[in-house]
Amino acid sequence: MPEAVLFDLDGTLADTAPDLANALNRLKAEQGLAPSPLIRLRPLVSNGVRGMLGVGFGITPDAPLYPALAERFLHFYASALCVETRLFAGMDELLSHLDNSGIAWGVVTNKAERLARPLIDALGLTARCACIVGGDTAARPKPFADPLLHACSSTGIKPEGCLYVGDDIRDIHAGKAAGMGTVAAAYGYLGSSPPIATWDADAIIAHPLDLLRVLEKH
């Protein structure tokens, strides 16, 4: 059994797509544009602001309007970041199993820490969570190992004692770079990553509770 399980946030621990989509569509309405359907936005949630503005406005970070639109998008999101967001089905049961088994768990996300912490708190998980590491907590975000190594430092658990679970190939790259076991969450957003079977994760799960089987083998 591992000593700790670390989770990506968006698309792995929680389904945050509805609230991110709502923020984008509030911004689009302000700009006089029609809303984008959730089904179109959902796969790109793991790409953060860049992904949302890319599909919603067809722009990249080097566009002149990008900084202002990004700031406004984040304003809308921060004002309503946990209205429709929910843990994925089975995730609460999984977290309870980890708690009852004495396995620490935490969150390592590329979402800014100032957004990740209140979201985890709104989900009622802060007191149970061993660590919350945002994309700006360490020197470099995923796919670099820095955030995961920061999580190890803050929990006192060595990388080889951890599993990292994520729904993007960057999560798997970061986990491997940190020396952790890696689990790809096929139930997540997957985004613009190549086929999940090519990520070279140590395991692939189709449902959060499938992680229990992985824990038994680790």
Q: Which residues are catalytic?
A: 8, 10
From the list 193, 203, 217, 167, the residue with the least C-alpha distance to 8 is: 167
Our measurement of the distance from residue 45's CA atom to the centroid of its chain's CA atoms, rounded to an integer in Å, reads 9
Question: What count of Cα atoms within 13 Å lies in the side-chain half-sphere of residue 126?
Answer: 7
β-strand pairing of 86-87 with 14-15: antiparallel
Task: Answer whether 157's CB lies under 8 Å from 104's CB.
Answer: yes
**What is 156-209 written as a DSSP string?**
T--GGGEEEEESSHHHHHHHHHHT-EEEEETTS--TTPPPGGGS--SEEESSGG
Distance, in Å, from the CA atom of 176 to the CA atom of 173, rounded to the nearest integer, reads 5
